[in-house]
Each structure stands twice: as C-alpha cells, then as structure tokens.
Amino acid sequence: ETGVTQTPRHLVMGMTNKKSLKCEQHLGHNAMYWYKQSAKKPLELMFVYNFKEQTENNSVPSRFSPECPNSSHLFLHLHTLQPEDSALYLCASSLPGLQPQHFGDGTRLSIL
Amino acid sequence: GESVGLHLPTLSVQEGDNSIINCAYSNSASDYFIWYKQESGKGPQFIIDIRSNMDKRQGQRVTVLLNKTVKHLSLQIAATQPGDSAVYFCAEKGTSYDKVIFGPGTSLSVIP
C-alpha cells in the first residue's frame, strides 16, 4: 500500500480514443504531480499542482490535459495520443517544502 | 544546466556484500537529496533523504553520504539481499525551485 493509488494499472488505446488516468492520495498532501517514465530515460515531470492550482506545465503537448478537482485527486485526460506516448505514467504527491514525493505504481499506457 | 547523473548504470553484487551506488549533481543551489528504489512493475519508493546541512544520514541497512564540495551523493546498502534488486534513483531539490530533478537510475542486481 503506497498511499497513492492509480487506476487503471494498464491501458491500451487507439490513437483516436479518449481516456482518463486517475490518481488518488489520502496522505494529507497538498501537492500532486504527473510524471512520464519511458525506457532508459529519467523521469520526466509533466504537471505540478499545489493546493489544486497548476504551478508547472513542463511543455507538455495539449493532447495531455490534467485536472485537479481537490488536493486528493488528480486526473490526466488523454486524447489523440501518438505511439511515442506509450510509457508508464506515474502520479506522486508531497507536502510543501523539502519533503519527499510519494509515488503510485503507475499506469502502463500502450498506444496502438 | 541542471543535471543529476549516476556514475554506473548497472551494478552487480554478491548477496551479503555491501553495495554503493553513486550520484553526481551539478546544481549548487540544491538543498535536499532523495534516494528512491523502483522494483519491476512498481512506482519509485522513498528510501532515505538528506538535507544539505548534513554529511551523512543512516537508516535501516542504508546510509546516504553527501559531499557538497564535489557535488557527490552515494547510497550504501549493507548486507545486500536479493530483495534489494531494483533500479535506484537519486533526486535533488532546492528551496529556490519547486522541481525535483531525477537521475537516470542505476540497476542493482544481487547474485545469490
């Protein structure tokens, strides 16, 4: 039990589909993050939310659309993805300041 | 630019031996350093952290050493066990910036 739960764990979709990834944390954290993890590459930060406000968009294409309705939930809406978007998408949360991020186990996304 | 890198991409150790995983960072403004362990099919798991006002911090079977002079961080695992086999990431963060910067990771294999 990581404290950060991501669903679904696996997702296969076509390039024209629309799907959403969900992340939920009950650790009392106020910051939430989306990362992309591709093979043999460092973790890539995509989005950061602090107290439900987006504070970072790391030049992510508009086919990825985040949503943070409250400090416990984070979504990543996917639309018209490309094959190179196939990766592990990780959600994390943290307290403010010099504190570690806690990660979920990710959603393994495959684009056909 | 900012970068966090690992000296060795792969490391194999005999069960029972000590493991040392190294990390170099380039941002002098970093105040906080974290080690994560990622097992296959799971998200990164927090192991231990250290702030820049410390040189050494110990946990259960793990020790992190920080050498600010040469911008070097290491993770020592005592009496390495098969369950320690995973990819280990170092990460850095500074009070002047909100991002956590991750290194590329070192794969640790424990030989029974």
Which pLDDT does position A2 carry in this prediction?
Answer: 57
Restricting to B residues 41-100, those with a Cβ less than 8 Å away from any Cβ of A are: 41-46, 49, 51, 89, 93, 95, 98-100
**pLDDT digits (tens), chain A, 112 positions:** 559 999 999 999 998 889 999 999 999 999 999 999 998 678 999 999 988 888 877 789 999 999 999 999 999 999 999 999 999 999 999 998 888 999 999 999 999 9
Interface size between A and B, measured as CB pairs under 8 A: 49
Residue B97, min C-alpha distance to chain A (Å): 10
The residue-averaged pLDDT of B40-67 equals 96
DSSP symbols for A62-106: TTEEEEEEETTEEEEEEES--GGG-EEEEEEEE-SSS---EE---
The 3-state DSSP class for residue B61 equals: coil
B86: its two tokens: 């995973």
β-pairing, B106-111 vs B86-94, is antiparallel
pLDDT digits (tens, 9 = 90+) for B80-95: 999 999 999 999 988 7
* Residue B27 predicted with pLDDT over 90: no
Interface test with A, best of B98, B99, B101, B107 (most A CBs within 10 A): B98
> Which tokens hold the place of A5?
């739960």
Q: Give strand pairing partners of A20.
A: A77
